[in-house]
Amino acid sequence: MLNKLTLLLVTIAVSFPAVTSLHAAEVEVSVEIPRLNVSEYHRPYVAVWIQDENRKVAANLAVWYQLDDKGSEVGTKWLPDLRQWWRRTGRSLEMPVDGISGATRPAGTHELEFSSSDKKLAGLKPGQYTLVVEAAREVGGRELLEIPFAWPVEKPFKDEVRGKEELGSVRLTVTP
Amino acid sequence: MLRSFLPAIALLVCLPLSAFAHKVWLLPSQTVLSGAEPLVTVDAAVSNDLFYFNHFPLRLDNLVVTAPDGSTVEAENQATLRYRSVFDVPLKKEGTYRIAVNNHGLFGSWEEDGKRRRWRGTPESFAKEVPADAKNLQVSESIGRVETFVTNGAPTENVFKPTGKGIELVPVTHPNDLYAGEKGTFRFLVDGKPMAGLTVEVIRGGTRYRDTQDDVQVTTNEKGEFTVEWKEPGMYWLETSAQDSNTQISQAQNRRLSYAATVEVLPQ
C-alpha cells in the first residue's frame, strides 16, 4: 500500500513539476477514475483542458496515456479515442508535451493544482470558460464531462459533476 | 449469354457510373489516426449495399495514393478478391492523404461484318485500335473518381489541389473533420471550375440494418457548393455525376463524369 502511494505521489510530482508549494493554488481539478469490475481492465486515457465559449482550447492541463513503450509509440496510436481532445488540440500537438503528458492513472481520485502564474493558465483572459475532462478506455467506453466557470473569480468557485461510466466525480475549485 | 455478360462485368468493374445503380466505394479502416507510423487498410468494392462487399471488387489498376506533401505513395499488399479489393496504406507523413481510383476511359462500338463490335480503351490507344473507317462509330468518354481521405495528426489541404480534369471535390469543411450534429460544406469542380446544379446523393453506411436507404439529395449552388447536415455518426458515401460534350477526342460524342467519396462522421 505504502509503495503504491509513494508511486502515485512520485507520478504526480513527475507529471507536474511546475507546481510548487510557494504559490497559492488557484485552480484545482480533481478527477475520479472509478474502479470497474470488468474482466479486461485497462486504465483509461484521460485528457483535461479548459476551452473558451467557441470551444477553442484555452489551456491544456493534462493528458494521461500509455507512455511506457516509447520506442514503438504504441500509446499515441490511441490518442484519437479521446475524440474531442484530439479534435480540439491533440492532433496539432507534438507528443509528448512537457508538463501535460503523463502516464495513465489507476482507479482513484487524482488532484491537479495550477497556480495562476502557471504558464498553462497565464494566457487565460477574463471570460467564460469550460473545464472539460474526457476519458476513453480500451475495450471500454468514453465519457466527457464539463464544468462551466468564469475567470478570474472574486470569491471561491466550486462545482462538481459526476460521470456514469468512465469517470466518477470531477470537481473544479477556483480560488481568487 | 456468358459472352455478352462478361463485357458487362468488365464495364461495371472499371467504370463507376451512377447509371448502373451500383455504388462504387473505398472503405478505409479508419480516417483519423495518430502514432509513429499509423496504417490504414482499405476495402474497395462495387455493390448495392453500403458498405458491404457482396458483388464485385473495384479494380486497383488506377489507384493513386497522394501523401500530404503531394508525393505519390505505393499502396501495399494490393489484392483483388472475388468481392472486394484490399490494400494497405502506411501514413509515414503527418497530414491528409488522398486515396483515389481515377478512371479515364473511352467506350466505343461500331459495325464490322454486320456485327456490333465493342471496344474499351484510352484516348492514347484509340487511334491504334479503332479502325479509322469504322462504320457507325459511337464513342463515349468517361472520367470517374472514387476517393476517400485519411489524416495522420492534424488535417491538411494540400491533396485537394484540383487537377482540372473531371469532377473534383474541394473542401470548405475538411472531410476528416466531420462530426455528428454539425454541417459539412464542400465544393464540386468540373474541369477545375465550380459547377452549379449538380445533384449530390449522400447515404450513410449500414444500409443492411435499416428498411430504407435514407439517402439525402442536395444540389450544388452557384459556387458549386453543397452542405450536408450529419445527423448521425458513421461512414457516409456521397456521389454525383454529370454528362456533357467536352470530350478530349473529337470522335467521342459525349462525356460522362462521375464522382464518389467515402467520408467518416465521428460522434461528438
Pull the grid cell for residue B229.
Answer: 447536415
Which residue is closest to A67 within chain B, CA to CA?
A: B35
Residue B18 confidence class, pLDDT cut points 50, 70, 90: very low
Nearest to B60 by CA among B6, B20, B24: B24
pLDDT at A19: 44
Q: What value of ipTM does the predicted structure carry?
A: 0.80
Nearest CB to B154; choose among A72, A76, A92: A92
Q: Mean pLDDT in chain B?
A: 91
DSSP state of A154: S
pLDDT above 60 for A102: yes
CA closest to A89 among chain B residues: B154
| Interface probe, candidates A67, A70, A81, A87, chain B, greatest B C-beta count within 10 A | A87
Q: Nearest residue on chain B to A94, judged by CA atoms?
A: B153
Closest C-alpha among A29, A24, A4 to residue A160: A29
Residues of A with CB under 8 A from a CB of B: 72-74, 76-80, 83-84, 86-87, 90-92
Rounded to two decimals, what is the model's pTM? 0.85
Q: Average the pLDDT over each of A73-87, A151-165, B21-35, B159-173 and give the range with the smallest value.
A: A73-87
Q: Hey, what amino acid is at A70?
A: K
Best residue of B30, B31, B34, B174 to probe chain A, by most A CBs closer than 10 Å: B34
CA gyration radius, chain A: 16
Residue A23 pLDDT exceeds 60: no
Q: Are A60 and A97 in contact (CB under 8 A)?
A: yes
Looking at residue A41, its pLDDT comes to 93
CA distance B216 to B204: 9
3-state secondary structure (DSSP) of residue B187: strand
